């Protein structure tokens, strides 16, 4: 995905017209007024539809401290949502607001289960109870997706509730026992059972799930748990690959793809553009990578088609 922190430049729109991205991530808060968001998504989709295929356009709209669109729901932080009915209503309201400005992916909800009050997620998580989080995840996902045209994203698989820090700020190793980490998958399973369209894979390192100590977004073993054990069929998306653990990996875009990550996110457009160039160069010489890219593209196009069929962007 391309990354925008301001309205697109002519060069960015040219990249869209050339088909050099499958979607766009909006970052930052101050510039995303309702009128600006609507105008920018329209410009982006017009550029994309010159090639006949819409973009996915996504934001982190969790509620509380992570709320890119200050004028849009969720009006409560996840920890403030009172019950599943409240979470469902917040999901419906969020979908209505996002759809009104042409945004079709919400990188929410956070379904991690913090193991202590010291966990960095704070109010971004629903609670410290896996059972409660599973109920709330199901409710928010069905509210968001049931309103039509907007996809939910369960994050950050296989969980950052036991992390000692934020993966955006440092290399985070989560040494919890495998059985504890597997218990924490319950909210993810609830989201998958509710039909969540995307699952975000963390850049945390989980030695007791994958002894190779690869960050989850680069781990076929960990993504295999999502696909084989939880039976998730949708699109996998990485957490930011400008995170320290990811930046340290040589040929990171290809390695993330080969591990099973379908959609690659970056915290800056410069990093995203460089990643595309690197990935295209690698793919030219690697048949296995080209096959994996085709599989990922198929899943992403199926997601776009499902969103268009329920009121999301299309090229008509």
Please indicate, yes or no, if residue 247 is contained in any of the structural domains: yes
Domain range spanning residue 161?
A: 78-295
Please indicate, yes or no, if residue 116 is contained in any of the structural domains: yes
Q: To which residue do tokens 């017209």 refer?
A: 17
Q: How far is CA 187 from the centre of its chain?
A: 16
CB atoms under 10 Å from CB of 10, counted, come to 7
**Structural domain count of the chain:** 1
Virtual torsion, Cα 258, 260, 265, 271, nearest 10 deg: -10
Task: Give kind and range of the element (H or E) at residue 235.
Answer: strand 235-238
Q: Say how far apart CA 280 and CA 234 lie, in whole Å.
A: 23
Please indicate, yes or no, if residue 88 is contained in any of the structural domains: yes
Q: What's the CATH number where 132 sits? A: 3.20.20.300
* Per-residue confidence (pLDDT) for residue 29, from 0 to 100: 87
Please indicate, yes or no, if residue 90 is contained in any of the structural domains: yes
Cβ pair 209, 225 in contact under 8 A: yes
Please indicate, yes or no, if residue 61 is contained in any of the structural domains: no
* Per-residue confidence (pLDDT) for residue 274, from 0 to 100: 96
Q: To which residue do tokens 């934001």 refer?
A: 59
Q: What is the pLDDT along the chain (316 residues), one digit of tens a residue?
A: 999 999 999 999 999 999 999 999 999 989 999 999 999 999 999 999 999 999 999 999 999 999 999 999 999 999 999 999 999 999 999 999 999 999 999 999 999 999 999 999 999 999 999 999 999 999 999 999 998 889 999 999 999 999 999 999 999 999 999 999 999 999 999 999 999 999 999 999 999 999 999 999 999 999 999 999 999 999 999 999 999 999 999 999 999 999 999 999 999 999 999 999 999 999 999 999 999 999 999 999 999 999 999 999 999 7
66-67 and 105-106 as β-strands: parallel, antiparallel, unpaired? unpaired
Please indicate, yes or no, if residue 143 is contained in any of the structural domains: yes
25, β-bridge pairs: 3, 58
Q: Backbone phi, then psi, for 123, in 5-degree steps?
A: -75, -5
* Two structure tokens written together for 73: 């729901």
Classify 190 in phi/psi space as left (phi over 0), alpha (psi -120 to 50) or beta: alpha
Please indicate, yes or no, if residue 64 is contained in any of the structural domains: no
Please indicate, yes or no, if residue 193 is contained in any of the structural domains: yes
CB atoms under 10 Å from CB of 168, counted, come to 15
Instruction: Provide the whole-model pTM.
Output: 0.97
């Amino acid at each position: 995905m391309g990354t925008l922190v301001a309205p697109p430049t002519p060069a960015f729109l040219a990249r869209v017209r050339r088909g050099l991205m499958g979607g766009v991530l909006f970052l930052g808060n101050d510039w995303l007024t309702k009128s600006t968001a609507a105008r920018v998504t329209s410009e982006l989709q017009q550029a994309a539809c010159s090639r006949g295929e819409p973009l996915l356009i996504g934001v982190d709209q969790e509620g509380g401290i992570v709320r890119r669109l200050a004028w849009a729901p969720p009006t409560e932080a996840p920890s403030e949502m009172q019950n599943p009915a409240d979470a469902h209503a917040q999901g419906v309201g969020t979908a209505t607001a996002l759809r009104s400005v042409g945004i079709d992916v919400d990188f929410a909800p956070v379904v991690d289960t913090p193991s202590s009050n010291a966990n960095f997620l704070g109010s971004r998580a629903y609670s410290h109870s896996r059972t409660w989080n599973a109920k709330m995840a199901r409710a928010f996902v069905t509210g968001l997706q049931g309103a039509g045209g907007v996809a939910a994203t369960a994050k950050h698989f296989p969980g950052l509730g036991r992390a000692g820090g934020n993966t955006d700020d440092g290399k985070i190793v989560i040494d919890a026992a495998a059985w504890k980490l597997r218990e924490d998958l319950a909210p993810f399973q609830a989201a998958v059972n509710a039909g969540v369209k995307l699952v975000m894979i963390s850049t945390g390192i989980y030695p007791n799930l994958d002894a190779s100590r690869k960050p989850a977004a680069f781990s076929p073993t960990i993504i295999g748990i999502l696909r084989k054990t939880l039976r998730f069929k949708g699109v996998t998306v990485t957490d930011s690959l400008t995170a320290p653990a990811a930046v340290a990996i040589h040929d990171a875009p290809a390695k993330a793809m080969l591990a099973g990550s379908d959609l690659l996110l970056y915290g800056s457009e410069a990093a995203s553009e460089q990643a595309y160039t690197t990935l295209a160069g690698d793919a030219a010489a690697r048949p296995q990578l080209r096959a994996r890219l085709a599989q990922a593209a198929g899943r992403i196009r199926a997601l776009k088609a499902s969103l268009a069929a329920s009121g999301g962007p299309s090229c008509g």
